[in-house]
Amino acid sequence: HLDLTGVDVLIVPGPTREMAAPVVDAIATFLDGGGKAMVMVDQVTVDRGRLQARPNRNSFADFVNRYGVIVDDNVLFDVGSNESITFSTPSGDIAMAYPYWMRVTSVDAKIAGEIPGVLMPWASSVAFDNDFVGRVDMIPLLQTSGLAAVDYNYRENPDVGPNSQALLDVTEGDLVPNFVGVAVTGAATQAGSSEEFRLIVTGDSGWLSDDVVGGAQENLAVVLNLVDWLAQEDALATIRSKIITS
């Protein structure tokens, strides 16, 4: 049993194991009663040693579908806005542009703060479900540059290295901006609640991992601003966050 009594902000950071039905029900009840949550969805997990991608069957993407958010089964890369990573080669360590580690832009300064963007590794695209138009407020938060593309074939060719086939095959017509973080708000559906729920969804949890934040402190600043918005508090010190680990 998951007791969310007194929780201001619930954080679900990239599940990789199936959640028990009572836990899922408790999270839904929390949101339906006007709760505030951030769900980070890893549709793809990556073996960092081999740079091989594989689908995550327990990503929790189906849960956020209930609130009008779709996290696509893909992995994005950006040939124009990305990070340089040091790779080990037979000739020694070489720093190379790595399009799968994208530099994405903050779209809504009122929520994400006055921080230009964040570093997002191996993210999936996030979209709004048109069936929910008029039922929830849809707010874009984080977006790739216009030089991003979608690797839909990672299941058949899981290589996400700096010289992957997807990078070699990309054409100008494949390049398009994609959302990787969004928010939705709406009226609570639980009887007796006058609160509105707030939900933030990102297509990756790795952007808050220690190794990424170590080289991108702005990621930490942005997530604190996002949590601040969720909690509707001016002082982060007053927030009681409960983190569900996978």
Token pair recorded at residue 57: 């069957």
| CA-CA-CA-CA torsion sign (231, 237, 242, 246) | positive
Q: What is the pLDDT of residue 12?
A: 97
Residue 173 phi/psi, 5-degree rounding, is -70, -15
pTM above 0.85, yes or no: yes
Token pair recorded at residue 139: 């707010």
**Do the Cβ atoms of 219 and 213 come closer than 8 Å?**
yes
Q: What is the pLDDT of residue 112?
A: 87
**Do the Cβ atoms of 138 and 184 come closer than 8 Å?**
yes
How many helices and strands (H and E) does the chain possess? 6, 15
Q: Which residues are CB-contacts of 217 (< 8 A; sequence separation ≥ 6)? A: none
**Do the Cβ atoms of 76 and 124 come closer than 8 Å?**
yes
Q: What is the pLDDT of residue 234?
A: 41
For residues 3-20, b (16+ Cβ closer than 10 Å) or e, as one string? ebeebbbbbbbbbeeebe
* Structure confidence by residue, pLDDT tens digits, 108-155: 988 888 889 999 999 999 999 999 999 999 999 999 999 999 998 999
Q: What is the pLDDT of residue 68?
A: 97
Q: What is the pLDDT of residue 194?
A: 73
Q: What is the pLDDT of residue 154?
A: 96
Q: Which helix (H) or strand (E) holds 228?
A: helix 217-231
Q: What is the pLDDT of residue 91?
A: 81
Q: What is the pLDDT of residue 32?
A: 93
Q: Which residues make beta-bridge pairs with 107?
A: none
Q: What is the pLDDT of residue 88?
A: 81
Low-confidence spans in the chain with pLDDT less than 50: 234-246
First to last CA, the chain: 15
Q: What is the pLDDT of residue 13?
A: 96
Q: What is the pLDDT of residue 235?
A: 41
